[in-house]
Amino acid sequence: MQPGSRIAVVGAGLGGVAAAALLQKAGFQVDVYEQAPAFSRVGAGIHMGPNVLKIFRRIGIEDALVAIASKPDFWFSRDGETGEYLSRIPLGEHALRTYGAHYLTVHRGDLHALQVSALQPGTLHFDKRLASIEEDGSGVDLAFADGSRARADIVVGADGINSRIRETLLGDEKPNYSGWVGHRALLDKDALRRTGLDFEACVKWWTHDRHMMVYDTTADGHEYYYVTGVPHPAWDFDGAFAPSSREEMREAFVGYHPVVQALIEATTEVTKWPLLNRNPLPLWSRGRLVLLGDACHPMKPHMAQGAAMAIEDGAMLARCLSETGLSDHSTAFRLYEANRRERASRVQAVSNANTWLRTQEDPAWVFGYDIFEVPLRSESGVAA
């Protein structure tokens, strides 16, 4: 471990790694501290829109990601019972031509591995569960559960919805349970094709109070993934998720279209996860500590933009710190919040409402956004 690193990023998720990679490219000394002992190809699928691919272009992983990911031609929304198309949102070449980058769906683990590969060697430190953090006039001391310590000029809290950095800023408060769970499962698409049914590359099946989002996670189309949103009266399980079952899925989606029933019958292992959120925060930073992603503005996953907002946060934070330098980090943090709060809050609201792309709409305000090209607003919200 390199002592005296200038910036410490706590949490090596998608947002934290993006922030660290961009800050390193900008010339800052950055170390990332991750509580997990290692990373493996676990997790689930994820959408990455053109707004994020433009950031990956700066990091240097866009081409590698495009090569391994699925590039759906459309986002389809369909009535869960009748199969009627509610919307056909063009992606594919249209996204590349209109928004300036691809729209991809990919396995989260594959994406994360590419992101980690962009970090400078030796700057990602595993098994570093934050035990305490103390700020003084000249820096921040971090103590980890393994007995090690680190010191930094500023600390970026990218440590998720249960963020220790957030607790330091705002006190201990549990996230809100939304009343919904998400089921997750990976399927063999080749086996599904033998049913004779059509399994589209990116489709969301809707009824009034639940849905199932289904998509490819690899370029070759062999791996198919679904994630749901289903009402659940209370989260009464320990841990981040619980096992579910094919029987529970049948009950949750009774009356749904034959394609959805085929997905359920092909399910061999499925888990369910509580969908959590928080009220908008009164502040995003204080002193030498700053938050991003789920530590700052967690949202339901219904817009497929939660990770994207964390990555955008990391890019904007790097942009603002590059403008001011670490010696004026307080100005950088105010600029960062001024340039992120409105967009992140809007996405959070739409995502929580679960209306995104259900009907034919123009997604350009999300997909066409280029975080490196938009004029920086001043701390007062006026374009600088």
Q: For CA atoms 191, 70, 229, 258, give the dihedral sign.
A: negative
Chain-centroid distance, C-alpha 228: 16
Query: Measured between alpha carbons, how far is 308 from 379 in angstroms, rounded to an integer?
Result: 23
Q: Which residues, other chains included, contact 147 with Cβ-Cβ below 8 Å and sequence gap of 6+?
A: none
**Structure confidence at residue 239 (pLDDT):** 82
Contact 186/39 with Cβ under 8 angstroms?
no
Radius of gyration of the chain (CA): 21
Answer yes or no: are the C-beta atoms of 105 and 216 closer than 8 Å.
yes
pLDDT of residue 277: 85
- Residue 262, C-beta contacts closer than 8 angstroms, at least 6 positions apart: 192, 195, 197
Q: Is 28 helix (H, G, I), strand (E, B) or coil?
A: coil
Q: What is the DSSP letter of 156?
A: E
Whole-angstrom distance, CA of residue 131 vs CA of residue 148: 10
Task: List, in order, residues 6 or more apart from 51 with CB less than 8 Å away.
Answer: 99, 101, 308, 312, 366, 367, 368, 369, 370, 371
| pLDDT number for residue 1 | 37
pLDDT attached to residue 5: 63
Q: Is 85 annotated as catalytic?
A: no
Give the per-residue pLDDT at 381.
Answer: 56
Look at residues 282, 288, 277, 276 and name the one whose alpha carbon lies nearest to residue 165.
Answer: 288
pLDDT value at position 268?
94
Grouping H, G, I as helix, E, B as strand and the rest as coil, residue 262 is: helix
Known active-site residue 103: no
Tell me which of 33, 99, 103, 215 is the catalytic residue.
Answer: 215
- Residue 41: predicted pLDDT: 81
User: Directed axis angle between helix 50-59 and helix 14-25, to 10°?
Assistant: 40
| Tokens describing residue 117 | 């590969």
Closest by Cα among 166, 139, 180 to 327: 139
- 353 Cβ neighbours under 8 A, 6+ residues apart: 302
Listed residue (113, 116, 148) closest to 130, CA to CA: 148
Q: Which of 254, 19, 221 is nearest to 116 (CA)?
A: 19
Please tell me the distance from the alpha carbon of residue 384 to that of residue 377, in angstroms, as a whole number: 5
What pLDDT, on a 0 to 100 scale, did the predictor assign at position 380? 61
pLDDT in tens, the chain (384 residues): 344 569 999 999 999 999 999 999 999 999 999 999 999 887 689 999 999 999 999 999 999 999 999 999 999 999 999 999 999 999 999 999 999 999 999 999 999 999 999 999 999 999 999 999 999 989 999 999 999 999 999 999 999 999 999 999 999 888 889 999 999 999 999 889 899 999 999 999 999 999 999 999 999 999 999 999 999 988 887 788 999 999 999 999 999 999 999 999 999 999 999 998 888 889 999 999 999 999 999 988 899 999 999 999 999 999 999 999 999 999 999 999 999 999 999 999 999 999 999 999 999 999 999 999 999 988 765 555
Burial class (CB in 10 A: 0-12, 13-18, 19+), 255: exposed
Catalytic residue among 33, 47, 112, 297: 47
220 to each of 105, 173, 202, 224, 266, how far by Cα in Å? Answer: 12, 44, 14, 11, 19
Which of 52, 142, 140, 176 shows the shortest CA–CA distance to 103? 52
Question: Quick one: which H or E segment has residue 112?
Answer: helix 108-117
Q: Note whether 312 and 51 are within 8 A (CB).
A: yes
Burial of residue 101, with CB atoms counted within 10 A of its CB: 0-12 exposed, 13-18 middle, 19 or more buried: buried
